[in-house]
Amino acid sequence: MEELLIEGTAVLPAAGAEWLESTAVLVRDGRVAELGPADELARSHPAAERAGGPDRLVMPGLVNAHQHAEGVSTAQMGFADEPFEPWMVLMHSLPTVEPSLTTLYKSMQMLTSGVTTHVHSHFPAKGGYEGSDAYLEELEHSIRAHREAGLRTAFAPYWRDRATFSYDDDAAFAAALPDDLAGEVRRLTSEPISNAIYIEAIAELSRRLAGDPLIGVQLSIAAPQWASDELLDAVGAAAAELRLQIHMHALESRRQREWGDAAHGGRELHRLAERGVLGEGTTIAHGVYLRDADIDLLAERRAMVAHNCSSNLRLACGIAPVRRLVARGVTVGLGSDDMAVDDDEDMLAEVRMAHVAQRIWEGPEPPLGARDVLRLLWEGGARIAGLEGAVGRLEPGYHGDAVVLDLAAVRGVFASPRLAYDDLVVARAGRAHVREVVVGGRVLVRDGAPVHVDMEALGAELAEAARAVEAARDPARQAFLERLRPWALRHPPAF
């Protein structure tokens, strides 16, 4: 029997509970067993490992409901932030840094910011795969990295099979281009994409991961505009057969909605519903351009939204209607999308951004208080990750996943005792204040540093890998994309 006692000046057991003063959480064999007065539990469990202490705040571990596990950000790889579509065209020259290194580094960044559960929306390699074995091998690299990091992972590798450069079909786009650009687009999009590779690999992965306490798998398409009807049907059928959740991007930018209006008469989400990919296990990331009818459909289907506030601001997409979603009963979680405001995966800063942005979002719906935003983080995130009832709370039976903050450091030189802990945390807390992070009763971060991974050595290895990739960049590829970009941005001309 392994016991851990996490003590706090104040402990928040759940979004729906009150802060408990001078309390400790007893975690036994990975699960929360009991909460009680800190001194009593310390006396009755003298042999338990200890975490937290006086002048500490203890909360459920944070949940990042959408991210891509890129340990070196797009900005670091040389792509400055721009509005979504122009930025996206250039992403076709974003090189792949060694996946197990970049995934591990990113997971450790999340962990040290207090995240204990995350959804990894995994990018497929740009060149495609020869078969499902090659694809599976790549996925296994990421999974090994997640295991080493020790976070709970909802692994959602996505697939796409249409509209490589514009939102139109590749052949139609190529036909609208001058000859030299058309030839290159045809060459780059000539290989047919096998959706069977994807479905076979995910089916196999779900078999391998069945019953895994740390890692689960979800199906995923990149986004509706990047998925054919055939791919939607295949994913919908696999979700029903394998009983898997579905994760996807949708309605991230205004232009995506315009494409949906032109191609599907504004019934983009209804198309998903009709093809079996919009149900109570489905999460859409972003949803900045959801209309009221879309929100009604999400509510009716009990589908979820992963809100990525900083990403939507950095890529000039706008502010998602989170208050409206919440008011209509749609589950919302919070994600970083590898685009956190300081480019540093600070999840508490992301909570703060969401809180600030919803304050200025215009609508009649009630405002979101600090606790409301924390509820999205924990309760919404847990459901999106497929771990509702298992993570997001420090109540008996839940996984022993917690973050411990240095209360004095969060307060700074002074903070009035009249300021509630919720407001204090959401207004001021960040990575620098995280002292301990616990996953399943294992203290993985102590004094703000991981105990199980040498970050300096990992950082050096990742830096070397990134430098090698940078040195091998093909300048002709970037030049081609920059010439292609204005064409992609005004195609198809109908919208």
Q: Which two tokens stand for residue 221?
A: 């398409």
| Residues in the chain, total | 495
- Give the separation between CA 43 and CA 422, rounded to whole angstroms: 30
In the bound state with Zn ion, the residue whose beta carbon lies nearer, of 337 and 436, is 337
Near Zn ion by CB under 5 A, which window of 43-51, 329-337, 347-355, 407-415?
Answer: 329-337
In the bound state with Zn ion, the residue whose beta carbon lies nearer, of 65 and 424, is 65
- Give the separation between CA 43 and CA 242, rounded to whole angstroms: 48
**Core vs surface per residue 66-84: b (16+ CB within 10 A) or e:** bbbbbbbbbeebeeeeeeb
Query: Minimal CB distance to Zn ion: which residue?
Result: 337
Near Zn ion by CB under 5 A, which window of 79-87, 95-103, 335-343, 438-446?
Answer: 335-343
Q: Which two tokens stand for residue 276?
A: 């079996």
- Judged by CB under 5 A, which of 337, 406, 422, 436 binds Zn ion? 337
- Give the separation between CA 132 and CA 134, rounded to whole angstroms: 6
In the bound state with Zn ion, the residue whose beta carbon lies nearer, of 337 and 345, is 337
- Smallest separation, CB 338 to Zn ion (Å): 7
- Smallest separation, CB 84 to Zn ion (Å): 11
- Smallest separation, CB 426 to Zn ion (Å): 23
Near Zn ion by CB under 5 A, which window of 81-89, 204-212, 331-339, 461-469?
Answer: 331-339
- Smallest separation, CB 17 to Zn ion (Å): 31
Residue with tokens 């196999």: 204
- Smallest separation, CB 120 to Zn ion (Å): 10
- Smallest separation, CB 252 to Zn ion (Å): 8
Return the number of other C-beta atoms located less than 10 Å from residue 450's C-beta.
Answer: 17
User: Is 70 a residue that touches Zn ion (CB under 5 A)?
Assistant: no
Near Zn ion by CB under 5 A, which window of 92-100, 141-149, 330-338, 476-484?
Answer: 330-338
- Give the separation between CA 106 and CA 67, rounded to whole angstroms: 10
- Smallest separation, CB 304 to Zn ion (Å): 15
Count CA within 13 A, CB hemisphere, residue 276. 16
In the bound state with Zn ion, the residue whose beta carbon lies nearer, of 105 and 480, is 105
In the bound state with Zn ion, the residue whose beta carbon lies nearer, of 338 and 436, is 338
In the bound state with Zn ion, the residue whose beta carbon lies nearer, of 11 and 315, is 315
User: Is residue 492 reached through a cis peptide bond, with omega within 30 degrees of 0 on the bond before it?
Assistant: yes
Instruction: Report CA torsion sign: 156, 477, 75, 286.
Output: negative
In the bound state with Zn ion, the residue whose beta carbon lies nearer, of 91 and 449, is 91
Site for Zn ion in 107-126 (CB under 5 A): none
- Smallest separation, CB 72 to Zn ion (Å): 16
CA distances from 422 to 8, 244, 346, 373 (A): 15, 34, 17, 10
Spatial CB neighbours of 285, under 8 Å, sequence gap ≥ 6: 65, 66, 121, 247, 248, 249, 250, 252, 305, 306, 308, 335, 337
Near Zn ion by CB under 5 A, which window of 48-56, 96-104, 333-341, 401-409?
Answer: 333-341
Beta strand 219-221 pairing with 20-28: unpaired
In the bound state with Zn ion, the residue whose beta carbon lies nearer, of 9 and 225, is 225
**β partners of residue 156:** 121
- Smallest separation, CB 121 to Zn ion (Å): 5
Q: Which two tokens stand for residue 252?
A: 């991230």
- Give the separation between CA 385 and CA 387, rounded to whole angstroms: 5
- Smallest separation, CB 234 to Zn ion (Å): 21
- Give the separation between CA 217 and CA 87, rounded to whole angstroms: 29
In the bound state with Zn ion, the residue whose beta carbon lies nearer, of 254 and 267, is 254
Near Zn ion by CB under 5 A, which window of 54-62, 145-153, 337-345, 457-465?
Answer: 337-345
In the bound state with Zn ion, the residue whose beta carbon lies nearer, of 337 and 346, is 337
Near Zn ion by CB under 5 A, which window of 180-188, 205-213, 332-340, 343-351?
Answer: 332-340
The two counts, helices (H) then strands (E), for the chain are 20, 18
Instruction: Please give the residue ranges that form the binding site for Zn ion (CB under 5 A).
Output: 337
